[in-house]
């Protein structure tokens, strides 16, 4: 059975005492903790798959969250192919996933 | 232990060893190949894959053109297209002075009867390379040149060599060669091999094999380097070099872009280790970005430094031994031997089976450096070669 | 050329790196601590610097992490977050040259000694469907919880083996995660066989007690545990929609939105390999690790390896290994005498003894099952270049025996992750296909850059090396 769309996401389970910032994930604003990573923002936004694989174009999503797997690649503030799990968010950060094109 | 016997023992399982072995086997000889690592371990399989006649030393031109003809029918020779694409090789002229130098080269070639290199104007350069930054004034092109995939090429050669009945021994190293009663005995880390003929295709280690034979060659080990980028949108243009600065750039079918051009690291052939130097990589990256703004989004994924043999005059050693009967050499390709692989193997096979060849290989003799000690301290090759170094290995 | 030469560059700000940097700086060395994460702590102490971090995660390592961070902050060590070390190699006049990138800038750093404290990575668990969105490592989910207080939404299945799987299940359940099943792939008989290592392990009763508590945790949380699971598959098209598993020959399945995989950790050895450190096979831990002496000295003079990157011993041991390496470097540089270094090492070695004594028990118990190291032909082994186990077996059948030959033949290990994901699976499949031990197959070589480097940043290095005022070499 083939899926029409994907709704896989993370939720905030622990309230943060630190401040919130707003980032854009694929143009949609989302409030995140100021000490979250860009990959966390992608998972909170459910913006999956964030990329298609380079060879077959199959859907991919953040996998290791520690900088090893290169599955969380996204364009961050105009710079392509960033490891989103290693980048701290900043207010107004623009995160663009590569849903449509293999990376 | 009894020795394995054959008609020919080839030392070195790179592209040249495999090509020679294939051609000899197809001429009916029984052939042993001894390879210390595995087929294509060094410069052969991880080089830049340039199939280039452009800018060659005049001594190599006829051979390289014959080899290019074989590349155009490579599938019928080795059963795989080896990723060969006749996308051309283009040398850019960024200034009128550079264009004038290229024109002088074409005039020189014309006087020798060659017409494969062709000057093109800026309009055609920008038709071919729409992504090139403005300002180039023309270029020198070899339209039938192109590139192949070195990995696919070595896979194909390995398979076809085995299919042709060649006795391939990987992971064993030759330790010596002696001749007695018309028979060469090659000792290895795994027993001895005997044959009336030996062929030295040992790449960066070939001067040691040559010394066993009795030919002293001032070969140095160099470490050609290259880097490969992440996949970029395909452009399928020619292999690009520039006349006024070192660069070679080529996109593979899978989208990755290979950047090279006179990149040199430090080779240690005793440990099989080649170390890179960062500075030239950075310089090539700057050149690429300046010439091709669309490469802004690319990432350098891997730098290589391989080990390859260099000769004092920058051209290979191809032909019979000057010191002993039944011994032949094909090595010292200075990082541009990939294109010559199919053709050189055919020449070696011809030499081994008939004793002569019609291919002009004058000037590539093994003893050419003895007469001219001045050459040995590093007289450089034709400046036009500078931008197009194609070998690098893992 | 660029800048001065420092005494010691420490790569990785986990427990080994933090402890080493603080110790070496306190001994008067000029130390720089380089880490690619935005915050210190490594994986185990992720988020430790943030007082506002999630309090619900019951993590006894937290106090240890705070102490390490405090010592680092008190020291004169120069800590540089967000800094990726993409090259380590021999520079001029016998010092190391490191290529760095940080916030879009590149730089070269020259250091007399280098300590690689790059920790561990989770061993791949290549099952059908493991690249689907919704499938991630258990460690990844734990990181999200520790660092950001995030939890997977919707039904979760966890699969694999080892203490981290249970710890993560417990921590996620504590914040209300909906864990539908924990599929334990530890094979039948492992517990019995590990018993012979138990007497030694009893020297570390706290570790065992904690482990036992973790094993009981799922039941306490109401999570169904299925033991001795023989096969696991992620089901889905665009993303995971369910998990199938086989147990006692029978297949079962459940729907889920997330599948969290884990089958142990192994040393993260990309940088030690690039530096040229000789590797040795650890048969008990079933992984390659750099050869080191008691101080963390590798086979490359001046290059040291400490912490889980030198062999898995856990975060607590890592800090002591880091201090030992710092003492060794300081002694080599003459900042303290050999005798003094030896004297100081005694207390660290004493602290390490029980932590190392418990390892054989844990390592034998949780050594990954062959079934989960040898994927079926159709299953991806290399995520980047999308090569299946069948592709690797075909390469071997076509005559590629050396791992480097298979790499050239298949492109496995040539993608962006540089073999971090397939580096455990590919040698395993080759060894199995050839009928030789994994140790005979070797491990990937590593090229610069150890992580992909934007061409624009590499080009900036040209400006660093050749300032515009000087003549550029042709």
Give the mean model confidence (pLDDT) for residues C113-128.
97
- Give the pLDDT score at B40: 87
- Residue at A82 is within a domain: yes
Q: B299, A81: Cβ pair inside 8 Å?
A: yes
CB A99 within 8 A of CB C173: no
- Say how many domains are in chain C: 3
Q: How far is the C-alpha of B385 from the C-alpha of B362, rounded, in Å? A: 20
Q: How far is the C-alpha of C293 from the C-alpha of C299, rounded, in Å? A: 9
- Residue at C350 is within a domain: no
Give the mean model confidence (pLDDT) for residues C62-88.
95
On the question of pLDDT at C309 being above 90, the answer is yes
C336, C365, C394: which is the final residue of a domain?
A: C336
Q: For C187-249, where are the alpha helices, taking DSSP H only? A: 190-194, 198-201, 205-221
CB C114 within 8 A of CB C98: yes
Chain C: list its partners (3+ Cβ pairs within 8 Å).
A, B
Beta-strand relationship, B50-51 and B146-147: antiparallel
- Residue at C214 is within a domain: yes
Same domain, C298 and C407: no
CA distance C91 to chain A (A): 27
Same domain, C72 and C56: yes
- Residue at C361 is within a domain: no
- Residue at C382 is within a domain: yes
Q: How far is the C-alpha of A48 from the C-alpha of C86, rounded, in Å? A: 29
Tokens, residue C179: 């864990």
Q: How far is the C-alpha of B59 from the C-alpha of B334, rounded, in Å? A: 14
CA distance A99 to chain C (A): 12
Give chain C positions within 8 Å (CB) of A89.
none
User: What's the pLDDT tens digit per position in C197-225?
Assistant: 988 889 888 888 888 888 899 999 999 99
- Residue A17 binned pLDDT confidence (cut-offs 50, 70, 90): low
User: What's the pLDDT tens digit per position in C8-66?
Assistant: 999 999 999 999 999 999 999 999 999 999 999 999 888 887 744 445 445 667 889 99
Same domain, C100 and C129: no
Q: C147, A86: Cβ pair inside 8 Å?
A: no
- Residue at A13 is within a domain: yes
H/E run at residue C116: strand C105-116
Q: Check which CATH number belongs to the domain holding C303 and give it.
A: 3.50.50.60
On the question of pLDDT at A103 being above 70, the answer is no
Q: B297, A102: Cβ pair inside 8 Å?
A: no
On the question of pLDDT at C106 being above 90, the answer is yes
Q: Check which CATH number belongs to the domain holding A47 and give it.
A: 3.10.20.30
Q: B297, A54: Cβ pair inside 8 Å?
A: no
Collapsed DSSP state (helix, strand, coil) of residue B377: coil
CA distance B183 to chain C (A): 31
Q: What is the dihedral of CA A28, B299, C450, C145, to 10 degrees?
A: 0
**Kindly report the CA angle at C236 between C235 and C237, in degrees rounded to 5?**
145
C-alpha distances in Å from residue C374, one per residue of B78, C135, C139, C228: 33, 19, 22, 17
Same domain, C101 and C151: no
CA distance B178 to chain C (A): 30
Q: The tokens 């000789």 sit on which residue? A: C278
SS3 percent helix, strand, coil of chain A, rounded to 5, is: 10, 35, 50
| B158/C contact by beta carbon, under 8 A | yes
Give chain C positions within 8 Å (CB) of B279.
461-462, 465-466
- Give the pLDDT score at B97: 97
Mean pLDDT lowest for which of B307-311, C317-321, C372-376, C388-392? B307-311
Q: How far is the C-alpha of C166 from the C-alpha of C219, rounded, in Å? A: 11
| A64/B contact by beta carbon, under 8 A | no
User: What's the pLDDT tens digit per position in B58-75?
Assistant: 999 999 999 999 999 999
Best of A2, A6, A46, A50 to mutate (most C CBs within 10 Å, chain C): A6
User: What's the pLDDT tens digit per position in C327-381?
Assistant: 999 999 999 999 999 999 999 999 999 999 999 999 999 988 999 999 999 999 9
**CA nearest to A73 within chain C:** C416
- Say how many domains are in chain A: 1
Q: Which of C140, C172, C132 is nearest to C156 (CA)?
A: C172
Q: Check which CATH number belongs to the domain holding C439 and give it.
A: 1.10.10.1100
- Residue at C390 is within a domain: yes
Give the mean model confidence (pLDDT) for residues C134-150.
94
Q: Which of A22, A48, A47 is nearest to A33 (CA)?
A: A22
Same domain, C147 and C239: yes
- Residue at A102 is within a domain: no
On the question of pLDDT at A56 being above 60, the answer is yes
Mean pLDDT estimate for chain C: 92
Range of the domain at C178: 124-263
- Residue at C97 is within a domain: yes
Q: B283, C455: Cβ pair inside 8 Å?
A: no
Range of the domain at A46: 3-97
On the question of pLDDT at C473 being above 60, the answer is no
- Residue C189 binned pLDDT confidence (cut-offs 50, 70, 90): confident
| C467/B contact by beta carbon, under 8 A | no
Q: How far is the C-alpha of C472 from the C-alpha of C474, rounded, in Å? A: 6
- Residue at C357 is within a domain: no
Q: How far is the C-alpha of B291 from the C-alpha of B288, rounded, in Å? A: 5
Beta-strand relationship, A51-52 and A59-60: antiparallel
Same domain, C60 and C133: no
Same domain, C136 and C228: yes
User: What's the pLDDT tens digit per position in B184-243?
Assistant: 999 998 999 999 999 999 999 999 999 999 999 999 888 888 899 999 988 778 999 999
Same domain, C214 and C93: no
Q: What is the ipTM of this complex?
A: 0.95
User: What's the pLDDT tens digit per position in A69-86?
Assistant: 999 999 999 988 999 999
- Give the pLDDT score at B391: 34
Give the mean model confidence (pLDDT) for residues C228-240.
96
Chain B residues near any Cβ of chain A (below 8 Å): 230-231, 254-255, 297, 299
- Give the pLDDT score at B252: 86
Q: The tokens 């020959």 sit on which residue? A: C249
Same domain, C71 and C97: yes
- Give the pLDDT score at B384: 34
Question: Which residue numbers in chain B have pLDDT < 70?
Answer: 1, 46, 371-394
Q: A86, C452: Cβ pair inside 8 Å?
A: no
Q: How far is the C-alpha of B48 from the C-alpha of B393, rounded, in Å? A: 9
Give me the residues paired with residue B325 across strands: none
**Kindly report the CA angle at C354 between C348 and C355, in degrees rounded to 5?**
80
Give the mean model confidence (pLDDT) for residues A13-27.
88
Q: A64, C121: Cβ pair inside 8 Å?
A: yes
Same domain, C98 and C138: no
Residue B223 buriedness (CB in 10 A; 0-12 / 13-18 / 19+) = buried
- Residue at A33 is within a domain: yes
**CA nearest to C148 within chain A:** A36
- Residue at C341 is within a domain: no
DSSP secondary structure, B131-151, as one string: TSPTT--EEEEETT-EE--HH
Q: C408, B299: Cβ pair inside 8 Å?
A: no
């Amino acid at each position: 059975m083939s899926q029409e769309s994907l709704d896989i996401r993370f939720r905030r389970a622990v309230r943060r005492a630190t401040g919130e910032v707003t980032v854009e994930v694929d143009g949609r604003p989302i409030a995140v903790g100021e000490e979250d990573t860009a990959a966390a923002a992608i998972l909170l936004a459910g913006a999956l798959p964030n990329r298609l694989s380079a060879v077959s174009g199959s859907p991919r999503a953040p996998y290791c969250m520690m900088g090893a797997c290169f599955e969380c690649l996204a364009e961050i503030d105009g710079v392509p192919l960033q490891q989103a799990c290693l980048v701290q968010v900043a207010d107004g950060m623009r995160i663009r996933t590569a849903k449509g094109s293999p990376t | 232990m009894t020795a394995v016997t054959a008609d020919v023992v080839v030392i070195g399982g790179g592209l040249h060893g495999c090509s020679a072995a294939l051609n000899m086997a197809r001429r009916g000889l029984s052939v042993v190949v001894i390879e210390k690592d595995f087929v294509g371990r060094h410069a052969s399989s991880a080089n830049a894959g340039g199939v280039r006649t452009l800018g060659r030393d005049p001594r190599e031109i006829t051979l390289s053109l014959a080899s290019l003809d074989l590349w155009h029918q490579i599938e019928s020779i080795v059963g795989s297209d080896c990723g060969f694409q006749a996308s051309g090789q283009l040398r850019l002229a960024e200034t009128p002075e550079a264009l004038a130098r290229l024109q002088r080269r074409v005039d020189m070639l014309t006087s020798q009867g060659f017409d494969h290199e062709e000057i093109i104007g800026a309009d055609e350069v920008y038709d071919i390379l729409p992504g090139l930054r403005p300002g180039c004034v023309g270029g020198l092109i070899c339209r039938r040149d192109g590139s192949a995939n070195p990995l696919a090429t070595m896979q194909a050669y390995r398979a076809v060599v085995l299919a042709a009945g060649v006795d391939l021994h990987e992971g064993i190293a030759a330790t010596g060669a002696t001749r007695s009663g018309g028979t060469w005995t090659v000792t290895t880390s795994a027993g001895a091999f005997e044959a009336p003929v030996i062929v030295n295709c040992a790449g960066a280690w070939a001067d040691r094999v040559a010394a066993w034979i009795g030919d002293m060659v001032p070969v140095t080990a160099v470490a050609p380097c290259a880097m490969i980028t992440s996949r970029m949108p395909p452009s399928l243009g020619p292999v690009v070099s520039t006349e006024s600065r070192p660069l070679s750039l080529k996109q593979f079918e899978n989208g990755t872009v290979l950047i090279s051009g006179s990149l040199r690291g430090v080779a240690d052939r005793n440990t099989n280790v080649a170390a890179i130097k960062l500075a030239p990589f950075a310089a090539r990256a700057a050149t690429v970005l300046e010439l091709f703004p669309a490469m802004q989004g690319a990432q350098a994924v891997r730098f290589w430094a391989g080990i390859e043999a260099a000769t004092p005059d920058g051209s290979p050693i191809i032909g019979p031994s000057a010191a002993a009967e039944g011994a032949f050499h094909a090595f010292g390709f200075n990082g541009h031997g990939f294109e010559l692989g199919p053709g050189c193997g055919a020449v070696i096979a011809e030499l081994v089976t008939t004793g002569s060849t019609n291919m002009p290989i004058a000037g590539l003799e093994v003893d050419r450096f003895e007469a001219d000690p001045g050459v040995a301290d590093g007289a450089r090759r034709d400046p036009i070669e500078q931008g197009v170094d194609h070998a690098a290995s893992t | 050329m660029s800048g001065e030469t420092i005494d010691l560059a420490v790569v990785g700000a986990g427990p080994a790196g933090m402890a080493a940097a603080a110790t070496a700086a306190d001994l008067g060395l000029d130390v720089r601590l380089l880490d690619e994460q935005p915050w210190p702590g490594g994986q185990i102490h992720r988020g430790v610097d943030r007082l506002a971090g999630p309090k619900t995660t019951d993590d006894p390592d937290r106090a240890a992490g705070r102490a390490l961070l405090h010592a680092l902050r008190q020291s004169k060590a120069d800590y540089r977050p967000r800094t990726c070390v993409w090259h380590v190699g021999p520079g001029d006049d016998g010092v190391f040259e490191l290529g760095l990138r940080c916030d879009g800038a590149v730089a070269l750093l020259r250091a007399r000694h280098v300590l690689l404290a790059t920790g561990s990575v989770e061993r791949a668990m290549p099952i059908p469907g493991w690249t689907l969105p919704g499938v991630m490592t258990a460690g990844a989910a734990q990181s999200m919880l520790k660092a950001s207080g995030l939890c997977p939404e919707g039904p979760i299945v966890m699969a694999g083996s080892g203490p981290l799987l249970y710890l993560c299940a417990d921590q996620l359940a504590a914040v209300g995660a909906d864990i539908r099943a924990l599929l334990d792939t530890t094979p039948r008989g492992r517990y019995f066989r590990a018993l012979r290592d138990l007497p030694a392990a009893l020297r570390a009763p706290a570790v065992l007690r904690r482990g036992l508590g973790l094993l009981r945790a799922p039941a306490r949380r109401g999570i169904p545990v299925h033991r001795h699971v023989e096969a696991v598959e992620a089901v889905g098209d665009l993303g995971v929609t369910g998990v199938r598993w086989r147990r006692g020959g029978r297949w079962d399945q459940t729907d889920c939105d997330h599948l969290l995989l884990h089958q142990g950790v192994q040393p993260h050895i990309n940088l030690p390999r690039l530096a040229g450190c000789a590797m040795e096979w650890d048969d008990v831990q079933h992984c390659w690790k750099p050869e080191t002496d008691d101080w963390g000295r590798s086979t490359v003079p001046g290059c040291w390896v400490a912490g889980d990157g030198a062999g898995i011993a856990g975060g607590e041991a890592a800090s002591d290994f880091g201090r030992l390496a710092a003492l060794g470097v300081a002694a080599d540089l003459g900042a303290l005498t050999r005798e003094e270094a030896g004297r100081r090492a005694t207390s660290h070695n004493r602290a390490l003894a029980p932590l190392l004594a418990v390892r054989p028990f844990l390592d034998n118990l949780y050594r990954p099952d062959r079934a989960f190291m040898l994927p079926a032909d159709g299953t991806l082994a290399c995520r980047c270049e999308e090569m299946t186990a069948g592709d690797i077996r075909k390469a071997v059948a076509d005559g590629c025996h050396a791992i480097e030959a298979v790499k050239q033949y298949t492109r496995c290990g040539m993608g962006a992750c540089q073999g971090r994901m397939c580096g455990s699976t590919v040698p395993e499949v080759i060894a199995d296909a050839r009928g030789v031990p994994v140790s005979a197959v070797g491990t990937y070589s590593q090229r610069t850059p150890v992580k992909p480097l934007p061409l624009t940043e590499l080009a900036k290095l040209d400006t660093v090396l050749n300032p515009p005022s000087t003549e550029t070499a042709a």
